Amino acid sequence: MTIPAANTVTQAYTRIAAAWRADRLHTSTEASWQRLLDRLTEPLATGAHVLDVGCGCGEPMGTYLTAAGYQVTGIDGSAGLLSFARKALPQATFHHGDMRTVDPGGSFDAIVAWDSLFHVPRTDHAVMFARFATWLQPGGRLLLSLGASGDAGFTAPLHGETMYYSSYSPRQSMQLLHETGLLVEHREIDDPGGRGHLAIIAVKSSGEIPCNSATR
């Protein structure tokens, strides 16, 4: 299929920003994100700096992190979603732009990229994994969700808009993470319905990469 222009998905999210925010707030107690976010942040000190890549409206994940005492920086390509995020998290820092090119500044103790990277063509995923590794401090932690279908590209409707998705197989994704020094600590298919939803927690290597860590 033809890969859409980089801003197609972000413009669509701006058009449905209010409806999308309502969905996120409605499902916030039903999803696995809170359990995984707790696992991600358990080793972090209070005040640690967390980067949210594809932060959307800032709720519920950004507000959860802030309430737990972490400093939050967000990146999103949708101006409409960021307008909600800035209201929900006035103390946070936000950057409007494509995750593949924007500079969030500084280094981070943890990164969250939840339901965002699968909107980017999978041919760009290795570049993004390398960017995550660059942004993280040694020993920094990453919570990432990806598609699990291995489908190079497909579309699906959402609130009347057409959204694009792309993914490698779980094994390929973990190999790419490994190659950038991001060692998989935990993985699960947290939504086995449909095309699958892969959740990963990885840690930036602070030394030699074990040869078998990519397949744990």
**Residue for token pair 């699906």:** 156
User: What integer pLDDT is reported at residue 215 of this predicted model?
Assistant: 34
In a domain, 1, yes or no: no
In a domain, 57, yes or no: yes
Cα-atom radius of gyration of the chain, to the nearest Å? Answer: 16
User: What integer pLDDT is reported at residue 193 of this predicted model?
Assistant: 60
In a domain, 98, yes or no: yes
Q: Which of 78, 107, 110 minimizes the C-alpha distance to 95?
A: 78
In a domain, 35, yes or no: yes
User: What integer pLDDT is reported at residue 6 of this predicted model?
Assistant: 65
User: What is the domain count for the chain?
Assistant: 1
Q: What is the pTM of this model?
A: 0.92
In a domain, 183, yes or no: yes
Burial of 90 (0-12, 13-18, 19+ CB in 10 A): exposed
User: What integer pLDDT is reported at residue 7 of this predicted model?
Assistant: 77
Q: Cα–Cα distance between 204 and 141 in angstroms, integer?
A: 6
User: What integer pLDDT is reported at residue 194 of this predicted model?
Assistant: 65
Q: What CATH number is attached to the domain comprising 177?
A: 3.40.50.150
Tens of pLDDT, residues 85-118 = 999 999 999 999 999 999 999 899 999 999 999 9
Question: Across the beta sheet with 182-189, what order do the strands follow?
Answer: 93-96, 71-76, 49-53, 108-113, 136-147, 197-204, 182-189
In a domain, 135, yes or no: yes
Question: Domain range spanning residue 157?
Answer: 8-215
User: What integer pLDDT is reported at residue 3 of this predicted model?
Assistant: 74
In a domain, 137, yes or no: yes
Please, what's the largest Cα pairwise distance for the chain?
A: 48
User: What integer pLDDT is reported at residue 214 of this predicted model?
Assistant: 37
In a domain, 171, yes or no: yes
User: What integer pLDDT is reported at residue 106 of this predicted model?
Assistant: 83
Query: pLDDT under 70 in the chain at which residues?
Result: 1, 5-6, 27-31, 191-194, 207-216
Q: Cα–Cα distance between 110 and 34 in angstroms, integer?
A: 15
